[in-house]
Amino acid sequence: MDSFDSGGWLDTAGGRVGVRRLDAVPGAERLPFCHKIVLENLLRHEDGETVTSDDIRAVVDRSRRPHDIAFHPSRVFLHDTNGVPVLTDLAALRDAVVSKGHAAESLDTVVPAHLTVDHSVVTDYFARPDAPQLNVRREYERNTERYRFLKWGKHAFAGLEVVPPGAGIMHQINVEFLADVITVRDGVAFPDTVAGTDSHTTMVNGLSVLAWGVGGIEAEAAMLGQPVSMLIPPVVGVELVGQLRPGVTATDLVLTLTERLRRHGVVGKFIEFFGEGAAATSIATRCTIANMSPEFGSTAAVFPIDGLTLDYLLLTGRSAEHVAVVEAYAKMQGLWHDPSVVPLFDEQIRVDLDEIRPSLAGPRRPQDRVDLDRAPASLARALEGLGRRRTVSTTGPTDGAVAIASITSCTNTSNPAVMVAAGLLARNAVERGLVAKPWVKTSLAPGSKAVTGYLERAGLAPYLDKLGFSVVGYGCMTCIGNSGDLLPILAERVETEGLVVASVLSGNRNFDGRIHNEVSLNYLASPPLVVAYALAGTVELDLTRKPLGVDREGQPVHLADIWPSDVEIAATVDKANSPDLYSDVYEKIFGGDENWQALDAPTEATFPWDDESTYLRRPPFLDGVLAEVTGAEPPPFVDIDGARVLEYVGDSVTTDHICPAGRIPAQSPAGRHLQERGVEPRDLNSYASRRGNWQVMRLGGFSNPRLGNRLVPGGPGGRTLGFTDAEPIVDEVHVVADRYACNSTPLLVLAGKEYGTGSSRDWAAKVTSLLGVRFVLAESFERIHRSNLVGMGILPLQFLPGESADSLGLDGTEIFSVEGLAGRATSPDTVRVTAVDPVGGRTTTFAATVRLDTAREQTYYRCGGLLPFVLRETLRQAEENPS
| b/e map 133-147, b = 16+ CB within 10 Å | eebbebbbebbeebb
Residues 6+ apart with CB under 8 A from 596: 147, 151, 164, 165
SS3 526: coil
Residue 521, judged by CB atoms within 10 A of its CB (0-12, 13-18, 19+), counts as buried
Q: Is residue 58 part of a domain?
A: yes
Q: Is residue 880 part of a domain?
A: no
In the three-class reduction of DSSP (H, G, I as helix; E, B as strand; rest coil), residue 148 is classed as: helix
Which of 50, 71, 92 corresponds to the end of one domain? 71
3-state secondary structure (DSSP) of residue 2: coil
Q: Kindly give, in sequence order, each residue whose CB lies less than 8 Å from that of residue 432, ignoring residues fewer than 6 positions away.
A: 551, 552, 557, 561, 562
One domain, residues 671 and 768: yes
Cβ distance 232 to 66 under 8 Å? yes
Q: Which of 805, 776, 779 is nearest to 643 (CA)?
A: 776
Angle between helices 416-431 and 566-576 (to 10 degrees): 110
Alpha-carbon gap, residue 31 to 239, rounded angstroms: 16
**Which one-letter DSSP state was computed for residue 234?**
P
Strands 830-836 and 843-850: antiparallel
In a domain, 415, yes or no: yes
Instruction: Name residues whose C-beta falls within 8 Å of residue 697's C-beta, 6 or more positions apart in sequence.
Output: 659, 670, 687, 690, 691, 763, 766, 767, 770
Kindly list the distances between the CA atom of residue 31 and the CA atoms of 8, 60, 68, 431, 576, in Å, as whole numbers in the listed order: 20, 7, 18, 54, 39
Asked if 173 and 31 sit in the same domain, the reply is no
Q: Which of 683, 733, 677 is nearest to 705 (CA)?
A: 733
CA nearest neighbour of 292 among 479, 522, 530, 37:
479
Burial 39-48 (b: 16+ CB within 10 A, else e): bbbbbbbbee
Cα 661 from Cα 848, distance rounded (Å): 32
The pTM (predicted TM-score) of the whole model is 0.88
Interior angle at CA 416, CA 414 and CA 417, nearest 5: 125
Report the C-alpha gap between 156 and 150 in whole angstroms.
10
pLDDT of residue 883: 60
CA distance 121 to 132: 9
> What is the distance between the alpha carbons of residues 153 and 136, in angstroms, rounded to a whole number?
21
Claim to verify: residue 32 and residue 146 sit in the same structural domain: no
Alpha-carbon gap, residue 83 to 87, rounded angstroms: 6
> Could you give the CA distance from residue 144 to residue 595 in angstroms, rounded to a whole number?
9
Q: Are residues 115 and 145 in the same domain?
A: yes
Number of domains in the chain: 4
Q: What sign results for the dihedral spanned by CA atoms 466, 136, 171, 574?
A: positive
Return the closest-CA partner of residue 218 out of 207, 229, 208. 229
* Torsion from C-alpha of 874, 877, 878, 882, nearest 10 degrees: -170
For strand 773-778 and strand 795-799, is the pairing parallel, antiparallel, or unpaired? Answer: parallel
Domain extent at residue 86 = 75-355
Q: List the one residue out of 89, 243, 107 whose CA is nearest residue 605.
A: 107
Calculate the dihedral angle through the C-alpha atoms of 205, 525, 691, 675, rounding to the nearest 10 degrees. Answer: 170
Of all residues in the chain, what percent are helix, strand and coil, respectively (each to 5)?
Answer: 40, 20, 45
What's the DSSP call for residue 199?
Answer: G
Residue 67 shares a structural domain with residue 79:
no
Residues 647 and 794 in one domain: yes
Q: How many CB atoms lie within 10 A of CB 558?
A: 14
Encoded amino acid at 653, one letter: V
Which three-class secondary structure state does DSSP give residue 459?
coil
At a CB cut-off of 8 Å and minimum separation 6, what does 447 contact?
168, 169, 171, 172, 173, 409, 410, 413, 414, 474
113/251 Cα distance (integer angstroms): 30
Residues 755 and 799 in one domain: yes
Please give the biggest Cα pair distance in the chain: 83
Write the CA distances from 26 to 12, 59, 345, 535, 663, integer angstroms.
26, 11, 17, 60, 54
334: left (phi over 0), alpha (psi -120 to 50) or beta: left
Segments of 149-259 assigned E as strands: 160-163, 182-185, 188-191, 193-196, 210-213, 228-231, 235-241
Q: Clarify whether residues 364 and 349 are in a common domain.
A: no
Check residue 306 and give its pLDDT: 98
| Domain finish residue from 23, 51, 71 | 71
- CATH of residue 462's domain is 3.30.499.10
Which parts of the chain register pLDDT below 50?
none
Q: In this structure, is residue 315 part of a structural domain?
A: yes
Which of 424, 506, 415, 436 lies closest to 462 in space, CA to CA? 424
User: Under a CB-based contact definition with an 8 Å cutoff, are residues 422 and 527 in contact?
Assistant: yes
Let me know if residue 618 belongs to a domain: no
Close Cβ partners of 857 (under 8 Å, ≥ 6 residues apart): 229, 787, 790
- Evaluate whether residue 529 is within a structural domain: yes
Residue 393 and residue 331 share a domain = no
- Report the residue count for the chain: 883
Task: State whether 380 and 459 are in the same domain.
Answer: yes
Residue 218 in domain: yes
Looking at the structure, do residues 371 and 311 belong to the same domain, yes or no?
no
Integer Cα distance of 647 and 812 in angstroms:
8
- What lies within 8 Å, CB to CB, of 519 at 6+ separation is 403, 404, 486, 501, 502, 503
**Terminal alpha carbon distance of the chain:** 26
Bond from prior residue into 363 cis (ω within 30 degrees of 0): yes
Among 46, 71, 96, give the residue marking a domain's end: 71
Q: How far apart are CA 90 and CA 867, in angstroms?
A: 9
- Tell me: the pLDDT tens digits for 285-323? 999 999 999 999 999 999 999 999 999 999 999 999 999
Cis amide bond preceding 191, omega within 30: no
Q: Domain check: are 271 and 167 in the same one?
A: yes
State the CB neighbour count (10 A cutoff) for residue 743: 10
* E-assigned strand segments in 364-453: 369-371, 402-407, 441-444
- One DSSP character per residue, 761-828 reads -HHHHHHHHHTTEEEEEES-B-HHHHHHHHHTT-EEEEEPTT--TTTTT--S-SEEEEES-TT-SS--
Q: What amino acid occupies position 441?
A: K
Residue 72: helix, strand or coil by DSSP? Answer: coil
Distance (Å, rounded) from C-alpha 614 to C-alpha 687? 12
Within a domain: 867: no
Angle at the Cα of 202 from the Cα atoms of 364 and 18, rounded to 5 degrees: 175
